[in-house]
Amino acid sequence: MDKKYKEIIFLNKTELYSALAQLNKGYVDSMINKSNNINGNVTSDTSSNASGISGGIPSVIKGEYKGTDTHTTSSEDSESFGKDLNVVLNDYNLNNLINVLKQKQLLNKLSDSDEGDFILTTSKFSLIDFKFSSEVLSAEHGNGINANLKNMMKATDGWNKELENNFKLMAHFMDFGNLMTQGNILLHMDGATILADSSNFRMNNGELQSIAYSSRPITVLGIVEAKTEGINVDSIISNTLGNDKDIQDLSKFGNIVPALSEMTFFSTGLLKSGDRFVKPIALYF
């Protein structure tokens, strides 16, 4: 594989364009709207000229049918062209941003990075799609495990009550993880924990399962949002509820949900002391 080639699986265009606009005084945007306007004029002319009588069908109906058909085809061509152009320009803009950050010496080593720093790092990774896993494992109304899964597993020789209870525990964990992440995909890399909006992936939920088995290292371009130092269960509880003296300090109550997420990820090995929470701009192989 050419080292210059990037298999981009995730791209946050909002963050990409924002960074380029601020660091490079703008970015290359697509001309899809202009293209659509031109195609729109052409289809309008075509529709108005479509007329005639065939098989006793009135010319007005004939014209409307032809016009609609031609317009739809042209719109589909325009949309396809627009999507292709978008992908090309987005990929170009990503490479452009990486080059700008390198030129301005704004890319930091992950282990030395502070909050707000840009980082570009590559490592092995693990991926969890809590939402997809929850839908597969959990029963429709959240009680027990998925009936179809249970029936399928019962047909195997190794199925027993203990295994069923383990599946129930996994289902509960995935339900809670989905609630904490709000449908985002969680990736853990060496020194980084990433929550990635599923709508910015170039793969659907089913396709994402395949890369969970990949032995290739993944690269993330992103921004450090927070550092986790000296993390343990006691410190998480203290940061949430405070010490005995200030347990009535309601200002800490806003930390409850983040602390629950932190505790969940920490207790399951998805977050380690010293990790950075990274907001991803791009993920690629």
Say how far apart CA 132 and CA 120 lie, in whole Å.
Answer: 28
Quick: pLDDT tens for 238-273.
665 555 555 556 566 666 667 677 777 776 777 887
Where do we find the tokens 């129930």?
Answer: 168
Structure tokens given for 131:
């939402």
pLDDT given at position 241: 59
| pLDDT for position 28 | 57
Torsion of CA 31, 33, 38, 44, to 10 degrees: 160
Query: How many angstroms separate the Cα of 52 from the Cα of each of 29, 55, 63, 71, 233?
Result: 43, 10, 7, 18, 79
CA-CA distance, 126 to 214, in Å (whole number)? 9
Cβ–Cβ contacts within 10 Å for residue 244, how many? 6
Q: What is the pLDDT of residue 138?
A: 84
Q: Which residue, 173, 166, 197, is CA-closest to 270?
A: 173
| pLDDT at residue 201, rounded to an integer | 95
Which residue, 7, 211, 224, is CA-closest to 126?
211
Among the listed residues 187, 15, 30, the one whose alpha carbon sits nearest the alpha carbon of residue 101? 15
Q: What span, in angstroms and rounded, lies between the C-alpha atoms of 162 and 171?
A: 14
Which residues touch 59 (CB under 8 Å, ≥6 apart)?
51, 52, 53
Q: Is 260 helix (H, G, I), strand (E, B) or coil?
A: helix
Least Cα distance to 24 among 91, 82, 95 occurs for: 95
Rg (alpha carbons) of the chain, rounded to whole number:
26
Between 232 and 14, whose confidence is greater?
14
| pLDDT tens for each residue of 125-151 | 999 898 888 888 888 766 778 878 888
Given a cut of 50, whether residue 51 has pLDDT beyond it is no
- Could you report the per-residue pLDDT of 16-47, keeping only the tens digit for each? 999 998 997 765 554 444 445 445 544 433 33
pLDDT of 67 reads 43
Cα–Cα distance for residue pair 220/65, rounded to 1 Å: 50
Torsion of CA 99, 12, 210, 187, to 10 degrees: 90
* Average pLDDT score, the chain: 76
* pLDDT at residue 172 tops 80: yes
Phi and psi of 59, rounded to 5°? -65, -35
Residue at 13: amino acid letter: K
60 pLDDT tier (thresholds 50, 70, 90): very low
Q: What is the DSSP code (8-state) at residue 253?
A: G
